[in-house]
Structure 1
Amino acid sequence: MKYVILVSHGKFADGLANALGMLAGQRKDLLSCGLEDGKSADEFAEAFKDVISNVNTDDEILLLGDLIGGSPLTTACNVINEKGLTEQTRVIGGMNLPLALTALLMKDAMSLDDAKDGVLSEAQGALKEFLLAVEDDEDEEV
């Protein structure tokens, strides 16, 4: 199975997983784990080990984290390495809803590397400014 695994500071990963469930349905290939306020990296590592306990060397992983270099992502990478899953894992930092949704929906249609490249391309294209229309009050009569 190909998994999308979300990690973050706080409840961001779990909230994003909840939003993805609303858009893509509840799925067994989507996992999430957050570093709760006041918890240590070691406590996060134990929680992450529990989350990925059913992932094995026959599986592939797209690991999405909120921040490159942040404790959740680096700790998750260490746990993945300890479990012998590094070769079949691709890691992306800076996750958001469009990126995670694209990863979840396209991961099974292509190789892991192609999925990673597609996700990055799609996420970069999804960032746009939303311009608000301003009404011209001068045209209105009082």
Structure 2
Amino acid sequence: MKYVVLVSHGDFAMGLKSSLNMLAGKRNDVIAVGLPDGKTADEFALMFKEGIQAVTGDDEIILLADIIGGSPLTTALTVLANEGKLANTITIGGMNLPLALTAVLMKDSSDRETFIATVVSEAKAGLQEFKLEQPEEDDEI
């Protein structure tokens, strides 16, 4: 099985999972673990290890993190390495809803390189300024 695992500072990962449930349906292949304010990286490691208990050595992981180099990501990678699960993991930082949704919907339908290129492209496309066109005011009343 392929799992999408979301890690973040605070409740972002859980909130993103909630949004994914609304858009893609409730799924058992999405796991979310957040680093609560005031908790240490060691405490997060235990939470993360508990969160991925269902993942076996034969499973694949798509690890999405809020910030590249942040404690949730680096701690998750350490746990995965210690568990022997890092070799079957794709890691992407800077997650947003378009990235996560695309990952969930296409994780089983494409090869690794196509998958990575597509989800990163969708994440980037989701970042843009949104401008409302204002109608020009008519000077004559």
TM-score (norm 2): 0.94
2:26 is the alignment partner of 1:26: yes
Structure 1 range deviating more: 3-12 or 119-128: 119-128
Structure 2 match to 1:104: 104
Q: Given residue 109 of structure 1, which amino acid in structure 2 is its aligned partner? A: S
Partner of 2:41: 41
Instruction: After superposition, give the CA deviation of every residue in 1:48-85 in whole Å (9 maximum; x if it has no partner).
Output: 00100110111001100000000000000100111101
- 1:75-114 Cα shifts (integer Å, max 9, x gaps): 0010011110111101000000000000000001023343
1:135 Cα deviation from its structure 2 partner: 3.2
Aligned residue runs from structure 1 range 1-142, under 5 A: 1-139=1-139, 141=141
Bigger helix fraction: 1
CA distance in 2 between counterparts of 1:50 and 1:139 reads 65
CA distance in 2, matches of 1:73, 1:97: 17
Distance 1:97 1:111 in 2: 21
Per-residue deviation at 1:132?
A: 1.4
Of 35-44 and 124-133, deviating more is: 124-133
Aligned pair in 2 of structure 1 residues 40, 137: CA closer, same or farther (>3 Å)?
same
List runs of 5+ in structure 1 lacking aligned partners. Answer: none
Check whether the contact 1:62–1:116 (CA below 8 A) recurs between aligned residues. Answer: no
TM-score with structure 1 setting the length: 0.94
Query: Equivalent residue of 2:67, what SS?
Result: coil
Call closer, same or farther: CA 1:100–1:138 in 2, change over 3 Å: same
Query: Residues 94 and 140 of structure 1: is their aligned pair in 2 closer, same or farther, counting only changes over 3 Å?
Result: farther
RMSD of aligned residue pairs (Cα, Å): 1.2
Residue deviations 1:116-136 (CA, integer Å, cap 9, x gap): 222112222232221112233
Give the Cα–Cα distance (whole angstroms) in 1 for the partners of residues 107 and 78 of structure 2. Answer: 23
In the TM superposition, what is the alpha-carbon distance from 1:115 to its structure 2 partner?
1.6
Question: Secondary structure at 1:109's aligned position in 2?
Answer: coil
In structure 2, the CA distance between the partners of 1:98 and 1:67, relative to structure 1 (3 Å rule), is same
Identity fraction in percent: 56
